[in-house]
Amino acid sequence: MALPGVTALRTRDLKPRIGTEILADKAALLSGEHADTLRELLEQRGVLVFPEIGLTDDEQVAFTETLGAFAPERTGEKLYNVTLDTNVNSSADYLKGSLYWHIDGTMNEVPIRASLLSSRVLPADGGGDTEFCNTYAAYDALGDDDKVALDGLTVMHSAWNTLFYFEPEPELTHLRKMMRIGDKELPLVWTHKSGRKSLVLGCTARHVVDTDYRRSAELLVRLRDWATQPEFVYRHQWSVGDLVIWDNTGTMHRAMPYDPDSGRLLTRTKLEGEESFA
């Protein structure tokens, strides 16, 4: 039983290797009282779920600020509307890539530390779950031969690569627009400052550098299959008011398909990155 004046944090693991549900008093969360514990849990568990906590936009911003340096959008806005409705989000087309496994911001010098998503409106007829996989756990479970073989490999990541996932024959102007976002060569295995290692994969992964084209494609697909096996994956089925945080440096995620006209709306905030891919 909690002592008077002391607010408890109750946790429950959702899957052995990924995901923890957090039950806590909203005021205590907003005060930052649990921030250190939550940051530690986030790194260890990859995904934290706060069921139906019902944060307002302002509360979501305030809570995000308790966990680290707040990362505003490129537009300077603090919140981003995740929706396929182009009336709400003029760049909704880019989100079509979010239906495929990815890490947020692989084109950035320092990828964001974490993303926070609150659900506002959900499709009436279902769909639109979000899946997460733990790329630390996936690396750890590889055989020693693979760990040796992958050591030192780098992968070219390109935003435009994702275009071919949802538009196999894009117009040249569209391809060039996506190409302007850039390309980045990243290590296949990220050795974090903590000493832990994670896999860097996802739909921006174009090819393994200096590797035969077929072998490169085969390796990227094999590793994606490996990292997204059920034992490393948590699938979140949203209720309105849920808040989910994921460690963007140790997980990949994807949205499951949903009707673009369903009105599905999630609100995202982000924590500034703390270390570059290395």
- Choose one: 19-27, 80-88, 104-112, 212-220; the region binding Fe ion (CB under 5 A): 104-112
User: Is 247 a binder of Fe ion (CB under 5 A)?
Assistant: no
> Smallest distance from the beta carbon of 253 to Fe ion, in angstroms?
6
**Closer to Fe ion by Cβ: residue 98 or 228:** 98
- Choose one: 92-100, 130-138, 160-168, 173-181; the region binding Fe ion (CB under 5 A): 92-100
- Choose one: 99-107, 161-169, 198-206, 240-248; the region binding Fe ion (CB under 5 A): 99-107
Instruction: Map the footprint of Fe ion across residues 166-195, applying CB under 5 A.
Output: none
Q: Are strands 47-50 and 18-24 parallel, antiparallel or unpaired?
A: parallel
> Smallest distance from the beta carbon of 102 to Fe ion, in angstroms?
6
Contact predicate 21/14, CB 8 Å: yes
**Closer to Fe ion by Cβ: residue 34 or 277:** 277
Enumerate residues 6+ apart whose C-beta is below 8 A from 137: 17, 18, 46, 231, 232
> Smallest distance from the beta carbon of 172 to Fe ion, in angstroms?
26
Angle at the Cα of 84 (from 22 to 185), degrees rounded to 5? 75
How far apart (Å, rounded) are the C-alpha atoms in residues 59 and 61?
Answer: 5
> Smallest distance from the beta carbon of 105 to Fe ion, in angstroms?
9
**Closer to Fe ion by Cβ: residue 216 or 249:** 249
**Closer to Fe ion by Cβ: residue 29 or 80:** 80
- Choose one: 70-78, 91-99, 154-162, 211-219; the region binding Fe ion (CB under 5 A): 91-99
> Smallest distance from the beta carbon of 104 to Fe ion, in angstroms?
4
How far apart (Å, rounded) are the C-alpha atoms in residues 62 and 213?
Answer: 47
**Closer to Fe ion by Cβ: residue 20 or 98:** 98
- Number of residues forming the site for Fe ion (CB under 5 A): 2
User: Is 104 a binder of Fe ion (CB under 5 A)?
Assistant: yes
**Closer to Fe ion by Cβ: residue 34 or 273:** 273
How far apart (Å, rounded) are the C-alpha atoms in residues 21 and 37?
Answer: 13
Binding residues (CB under 5 A) for Fe ion: these are 98, 104
